[in-house]
Amino acid sequence: MPMQIGLDELLTMLVSRLEEVTLDSENQKSRFNIMFRMLYKKGLFNENDALEAIRDENKILLELGMIKSMPDENTMKTAAENLMLWIKGDAKAIKQSMEEMQKRLQEAAEKQRAPKIDVAPAGVLNELDRLGGGGSKKLIL
């Protein structure tokens, strides 16, 4: 006999599992951050190594077809700089970088806000024509 569960039970199980995955992901990120900070402090890599690793990663992603083109050099340098800020633990610089990024995102969003043109369905236009006397004029809003 098949087991039946309610939608609320299913959702509860899914949310619980999602919380576990999120917690595990945060735990792994924390461990990687700690390891990379230890390696950096021991002088085992530097900013140039980070940039080269980012280039290598993007080359692999390109070859696998996971990205359409290589990011430009400036984008990869910025990514390497941001990575190194995090590894160095420079909270002040990270916060400033995040604020600058937020500002750029807001500016981009404002640029995309173009005047919108709404088109009324034909039925609405016909009704407006009928109410306007039924002449040959079309009312366009």
Is residue 74 within 8 A of residue 51, CB to CB? The reply is: no
Q: pLDDT tens digits, the chain, 141 residues: what are they?
A: 677 888 889 899 999 999 999 999 999 999 999 999 999 999 999 999 999 999 999 999 999 999 999 999 999 999 999 899 999 988 998 899 889 889 988 988 888 876 666 777 777 777 777 777 655 555 555
pLDDT for res 92: 92
Residue 1's pLDDT is 64
Say whether 80 sits in a helix, a strand or coil: helix
Nearest CA to 89 out of 30, 29, 33, 26 is that of 33
Per-residue confidence (pLDDT) for residue 76, from 0 to 100 = 95
DSSP 8-state assignment for residue 66 = S
